Chains A and B, each alone.
Chain A
Amino acid sequence: MSSRGPETGPEGAMDLDSLAEIKLRIAASPHLRSPHSTPRIMWNVVGSLVPILAVATYYFGPSALLVVAAATVGSVLTERLFGRKGSTADGSAVITGLLLGLILPPGFPLWMAFLGGVFGVGFGKVIFGGLGQNVFNPALLGRAFLQAAFPIAITTWPVQPASWWSLRGDNFALPLMSPNAPDVATGATPLGLMKFEGLSTNTLDLMMGTTGGSIGETAGLLILLCGGYLALRKYLDWRIPLSIFLTVFVFSGVLYLIGPDRFPNPLFMLFSGGLMLGAMYMATDMVTSPVTAAGSWIFGIGIGLLVVFIRVWGGLPEGVMYAILFMNALVPFINRVTQPRVFGQPRRKPKGAEA
């Protein structure tokens, strides 16, 4: 053994010193901690969204970046102003902003996107008591607000323009003014085409993302990859997306078998609209999804069923947002009925034993 400090003399003397001067730290057990932390989870989610944002920018040009930035600034600013001190560092407000931006149309006016971010974090999270306390996914709540407030702007879908650099809409519309971009051609999303004109879209296009739609929702395969990364690192509960996918696939598959001409094919259902992003990133929001494993399955199956119901029989072309928000509201009840059986207790509690 070598002596470690130059100021200490012979080793024996130093040993005695080390015992005489030591200040011992007291803490409750366990004294070891896994390396995971809440900010680490959150920033990993943010990191996994970067490729999705990059591809969205490739498809939708600078408009994509602008809208996402506006939503993110709105949500982070709200967290900074009204949230707990220092709570922006945990990264959750950044996730809300990014996700909100990714589920808006590329030509969306920036002030509206900003407002959505403010509403999402302000009324979706801070008002409940901040991180961990909210019932609904803040990003989806922000979008629901925008959909109610600006129904036209949020359903205006640009088609690919001639130049990558051109804006995909009137991004810089002044606050409280109607967006106006006569020179931008608009078109329908694959789901709109299916709903209102009965036209299907090539599944490969849907997977790659070369279709109209919200900024970050189109590249289905990429979202699957990024979400898969999070699932592998255990930063999201794989049961939720898997149960959503299985439910949507089986339910719409059965419908498709009954009437292939009336109902869309199951792959179309999986890769169109916001299902991929919603299932991977919104439904898996830890705060607003069940804590129990059984609850996660119920939650995912519920979302899957609702998505198909709304898309096939509802008035709207897309139902992922409402499906997730509705199931968010049920999470406390799902948690209550799926409490795990405690070790050493009988499989089924006798009736009336539940407190």
Chain B
Amino acid sequence: MLGSSTFRHGVHPPETKHLTEKVPVRRMPFPEEIVLPLRQHAGRPARLLVKVGDHVERGDKVAEADGFVSVPIHASATGTVKDIRLCPHPDGSMAESVVIAVEKFSPQIPRPRIVPQWEGLSPQQVVEEVQKAGVVGLGGAAFPTHVKLLPPADIPVHTLIVNGAECEPYLTTDHRTMVEYPERVQFGIRIMMKALGVDKAVIGVEKNKPDAIARLRETLPDDIDVSVLPLTVKYPQGAEKMLIKVVTGREVPSGKLPMNVGVVVQNVGSIACIGEIFDTGYPLIERVVTVTGPGVRKPSNLLVPVGTRLRDVLEFCGGLTEDASQIVFGGPMMGAAQPDLDTPLIKGTTGVVVLTKKEARSVERYPCIHCGRCLEACPVFLNPSLLGTQAQAGRYEEMEAANLMDCMLCGCCSYVCPSHIPLSQMFALGKNMLRKRKAAA
């Protein structure tokens, strides 16, 4: 069943993980203000529960799930709701957010909670607990985790794949989670396997994290079938479809979900988070974030309250160097550049990468010379060269016929393009245009 330890194509950007891979996770002190956007996950935004002036304890719900594909938002610090207004969101928009003035001298201890006894719960109840805790995919996409735990009855799922690849350069969030909290990861896996009713789990970890592989292997349970699969270091190894291909040897059919090949993939951070819910009862109110890059003075791995503003995080990491020029939420391959230091870090923020003028420079663009490098880089075997030509002409229907919708915007084509054509940016635009046209039709 196991094929090779990697997929075809892909690229090898410099890993640059040495800045933080050995730095233990530290808890960041509570900032003066917390900003909690109601939209921190894929699906419908949460519905507001508080009003200005309300006092909230750390862990209290400030907004509840609006439907099944939605999760609640919890206060990540004790304080008073100071304002409810539009605030800068990491996706570049302004989003309705709850601003909490953090109470000074508060011990910040959440209210005593009832820790759910997972052994006694039915799978349905486990899923409810996961939703109640506001858990989303912590790998960046922020898809509500509980939705993935309820595959339709007619689709059999046999394997849980735990995504610890962390193929984005610079980031060490999942790496440190696996090294420092392996027991929590194993506990989370146990609960998820029960909820899904699967008897096999595979943890995929890139080989550049030997300490994580070793720690996970030390803590493997004896009574259930969990294994660690070291993966070749290549971007985008952590993309869901690539990981499934490596673990099962099967390709997820175009336009289908992983469960169509009998697997469910969860980020290792989300799994550790689930382990925590059934251990302490705390909802998702803080997460591990790598703050790194040549432009930050003290690269660190931090445990950050959800909703902490970028400015506070950077200040805690010693500030920026003089030549810092660009701040990216997420990894440098797929992350979004941030224009505003008041943007909060949210549930899906895997890292903060500060690039200097040396890395983040404008490059001159040349015409496409049809060298074919993008075709050899594209992990889903598209023809970015052709798609780029179509995009420049605005021929979106032709792009759709050329399988644009299979593009996962990993950025490999843009990375290798010697003419510096912003291919993946053009494809993101094309996908949006097509979606809008579909919605309008």
Contacts A25-B337, A25-B360 hold; do A131 and B367 have CB atoms under 8 A apart?
yes
Residues in A whose Cβ lies below 8 Å from that of B315:
15-16, 19
Interface bits B336-355 vs A (CB < 8 Å: 1, else 0): 11111100000000000101
Determine the distance from Cα of A1 to Cα of B360 in the docked complex, in whole angstroms. Answer: 24
When the two chains form their complex, are residues B337 and A31 in contact, meaning their CB atoms are under 8 A apart? yes
Contacts A25-B360, A31-B355 hold; do A291 and B335 have CB atoms under 8 A apart?
no
When the two chains form their complex, are residues B380 and A343 in contact, meaning their CB atoms are under 8 A apart? yes
Question: From residue A114, how far is it (CB to closest CB) to chain B in Å?
Answer: 26
Q: Among B320, B385, B422, point to the contact of A19 (Cβ < 8 A).
A: B320
Question: From residue A35, how far is it (CB to closest CB) to chain B in Å?
Answer: 9
When the two chains form their complex, are residues A25 and B325 in contact, meaning their CB atoms are under 8 A apart? yes
Determine, out of B25-33, B93-101, B369-377, the stretch whose residues face the partner at the interface: B369-377
The interface residues of chain A, by DSSP majority, are classed as loop
Q: Among B169, B318, B401, B425, point to the contact of A32 (Cβ < 8 A).
A: B169
B416 on the interface (CB 8 Å rule)? yes
Q: Among B341, B362, B382, B401, point to the contact of A340 (Cβ < 8 A).
A: B382
Q: Among A28, A130, A344, A355, point to the contact of B424 (Cβ < 8 A).
A: A28
When the two chains form their complex, are residues A132 and B324 in contact, meaning their CB atoms are under 8 A apart? no
Interface bits B1-20 vs A (CB < 8 Å: 1, else 0): 00000000001011000000
B334 on the interface (CB 8 Å rule)? yes
When the two chains form their complex, are residues B382 and A34 in contact, meaning their CB atoms are under 8 A apart? no
Residues in B whose Cβ lies below 8 Å from that of A29:
328, 332-337, 409, 411, 414, 424-425
Determine, out of B147-155, B156-164, B252-260, B283-291, the stretch whose residues face the partner at the interface: B252-260
Determine the distance from Cα of A27 to Cα of B353 in the docked complex, in whole angstroms. Answer: 14
When the two chains form their complex, are residues A31 and B335 in contact, meaning their CB atoms are under 8 A apart? yes
When the two chains form their complex, are residues B381 and A24 in contact, meaning their CB atoms are under 8 A apart? no
B383 on the interface (CB 8 Å rule)? yes
Question: From residue A83, how far is it (CB to closest CB) to chain B in Å?
Answer: 11
Contacts A1-B298, A14-B319 hold; do A30 and B411 have CB atoms under 8 A apart?
yes
When the two chains form their complex, are residues B381 and A342 in contact, meaning their CB atoms are under 8 A apart? yes
When the two chains form their complex, are residues A30 and B366 in contact, meaning their CB atoms are under 8 A apart? no
Of chain B, the residue at the smallest CB distance from A343 is: B380
When the two chains form their complex, are residues A19 and B337 in contact, meaning their CB atoms are under 8 A apart? no
When the two chains form their complex, are residues A292 and B13 in contact, meaning their CB atoms are under 8 A apart? no
Q: Determine the interface band of chain B, counting residues with CB < 8 A from chain A.
A: 35 or more
Q: Among B333, B339, B414, point to the contact of A26 (Cβ < 8 A).
A: B339
Determine the distance from Cα of A30 to Cα of B297 in the docked complex, in whole angstroms. Answer: 23
Interface bits B293-311 vs A (CB < 8 Å: 1, else 0): 0000110000000000001
When the two chains form their complex, are residues B367 and A133 in contact, meaning their CB atoms are under 8 A apart? yes
Determine, out of A38-46, A220-228, A256-264, the stretch whose residues face the partner at the interface: A38-46
When the two chains form their complex, are residues B319 and A287 in contact, meaning their CB atoms are under 8 A apart? no
Determine the distance from Cα of A19 to Cα of B315 in the docked complex, in whole angstroms. Answer: 8
When the two chains form their complex, are residues B326 and A19 in contact, meaning their CB atoms are under 8 A apart? no
Q: Determine the interface band of chain A, counting residues with CB < 8 A from chain B.
A: 35 or more
When the two chains form their complex, are residues B418 and A38 in contact, meaning their CB atoms are under 8 A apart? yes
Contacts A38-B419, A131-B367 hold; do A30 and B332 have CB atoms under 8 A apart?
yes
Q: Among B385, B409, B418, point to the contact of A40 (Cβ < 8 A).
A: B418
Interface bits A305-348 vs B (CB < 8 Å: 1, else 0): 00000000000000000000000000000010001111111000
Question: From residue B320, how far is it (CB to closest CB) to chain A in Å?
Answer: 4
When the two chains form their complex, are residues B370 and A340 in contact, meaning their CB atoms are under 8 A apart? no
A37 on the interface (CB 8 Å rule)? yes
Determine the distance from Cα of A301 to Cα of B416 in the docked complex, in whole angstroms. Answer: 28
Residues in B whose Cβ lies below 8 Å from that of A232:
none
Of chain A, the residue at the smallest CB distance from B255 is: A344
When the two chains form their complex, are residues A132 and B369 in contact, meaning their CB atoms are under 8 A apart? yes
| CB under 8 Å from chain B, chain A span 273-293 | 286-287, 289-293
Of chain A, the residue at the smallest CB distance from B16 is: A32
When the two chains form their complex, are residues A344 and B241 in contact, meaning their CB atoms are under 8 A apart? yes
Determine the distance from Cα of A25 to Cα of B338 in the docked complex, in whole angstroms. Answer: 8
Contacts A19-B319, A237-B372 hold; do A25 and B403 have CB atoms under 8 A apart?
no
B368 on the interface (CB 8 Å rule)? yes
A interface with B by C-beta (< 8 Å): 1, 4-5, 14-16, 18-19, 22-34, 36-41, 90, 130-133, 237, 286-287, 289-293, 296, 335, 339-345, 355
- Pick 20 A–B contacts, CB within 8 A, sort by A: A1-B318, A14-B319, A15-B297, A19-B315, A24-B326, A25-B325, A25-B337, A26-B326, A28-B425, A29-B337, A29-B424, A32-B14, A34-B415, A34-B418, A131-B367, A132-B370, A296-B372, A335-B386, A340-B382, A345-B253
B interface with A by C-beta (< 8 Å): 11, 13-14, 169, 241, 251-256, 297-298, 311, 314-315, 318-322, 324-328, 332-341, 353, 355, 359-360, 362-364, 366-373, 375-376, 379-383, 385-386, 398, 401-403, 406, 409, 411, 414-416, 418-420, 422, 424-425, 428
Top 6 closest pairs, chain A to chain B, by CB: A15-B319, A30-B411, A355-B401, A132-B367, A343-B380, A28-B425
13 additional A-B residue pairs with CB within 8 Å, beyond A32-B332, A38-B367: A4-B322, A29-B424, A29-B425, A31-B332, A32-B169, A34-B11, A37-B419, A286-B369, A287-B370, A291-B370, A291-B371, A292-B375, A344-B253
